[in-house]
Amino acid sequence: MPYKIEIVEGDITKADVEAIVNAANNEFWMGSGVAGAIKRAGGQIVEKEAMAKGPKMPGDAVYSTAGSLPYKVVIHAAVMGQNLKTDARLISKATVASLNIAEELNIKSIAFPAFGTGVGRFPMQACAFNMINAVRGYEEKSKSLERVQFCLFDSFGKALFQNYLDEVENR
């Protein structure tokens, strides 16, 4: 089922969706960046529940409650291992694993950050390419998702994601 893809700039903990995704390590402890923001806003329970489901292989995902955040769940995508390094394959795999959980839980709307571009130091443009292609490639499998949002921290990331999405949609 086709869904709408949105590119927005802002704080993922304030996204207007049913579930948000955390770019995580494979043991799901929540340090800085997006993970730190989610933990601060949702509370320690978010990290505690996620860590209880780990470790997993990089590229896999788990979910936890959202603590005091207004979401049905937080999906934790293991974009990297304990070495805090990622690559295109792990980013694509973690994106699909997150979408699989959203489908399993009958989620209608989900927000993703730019995987691996903080601690993992993955290039933003390559991230946009991998994540948008993974989301577009998943569309035919989707039954419940109606809206997939990429919530970018700044205007630079938003512009790169928007430019790549426009390029894909104009093919």
CATH number at residue 19: 3.40.220.10
**Number of domains comprising the chain:** 1
pTM over 0.95: yes
Count the neighbouring beta carbons within 10 Å of the beta carbon of residue 32.
10
Domain membership of residue 102 as a residue range: 4-169
pLDDT band for position 32 (cuts 50, 70, 90): confident
Chain centroid, CA 38 distance in Å: 12
Give the residues across from 111 on adjacent strands.
20, 149
Give residue-wise pLDDT tens across range 40-91.
999 999 999 999 999 999 999 999 999 999 999 999 999 999 898 999 999 9
112, 98 Cβ separation under 8 angstroms: yes
Where do the H-state alpha helices sit in the chain?
33-42, 44-52, 88-104, 124-138, 155-169
At 114 the pLDDT is: 98
pLDDT band for position 167 (cuts 50, 70, 90): very high
Count the neighbouring beta carbons within 10 Å of the beta carbon of residue 170.
6
Give residue-wise pLDDT tens across range 108-166.
999 999 999 998 999 999 999 999 999 999 999 999 999 999 999 999 999 999 999 99
At 119 the pLDDT is: 87
